[in-house]
Amino acid sequence: MDSEWYPADTEPWEPNVTTLKDFASKWADLMPKGQPIPTPLDPNVPDYRAARGDAKALAKLNAATQVVGVFEGAGYQSKGCYRPAQECRMKVNEVKDFCPVCARAIHRITDFYTGHF
């Protein structure tokens, strides 16, 4: 049973979590045209636990970090909260890249603190 970290009527403050309450303020601008919301999981992306030590499986995992969508399961909730990529360095350490949404958030906060905005 999920605890309600994020009530459905509130948009989370984190840039990589949405309840779809105000999705336009999140990563809607990074979504490919025609991408379904919610975005179904790609069954060709292997489970990260099964991919350890398998170069081809790890390559598929890492490629999945760059597909922006609205994937259910974020913020420690399996339902009602969505993440921007099927896999991301914020979710699993087996991939080498952050998804475009997390990468943008990292750049924005780094620029803010270094005065490069």
pTM higher than the cut 0.85: yes
pLDDT score of 4: 67
* Full 3-state SS string of 10-42: CCCCCCCCECCCCHHHCCHHHCCCCCCCCCCCC
Here the tokens at position 100 are: 């475009």
At residue 117, does pLDDT exceed 70? no
The domain segmentation of the chain, as residue ranges, is 23-114
Structure confidence by residue, pLDDT tens digits, 11-66? 999 999 999 999 999 999 999 999 999 999 999 999 998 888 899 999 999 999 99
Instruction: Please state the separation of Cα 52 from the chain's center in Å.
Output: 21
Band the pLDDT of 94: cuts 50, 70, 90.
confident
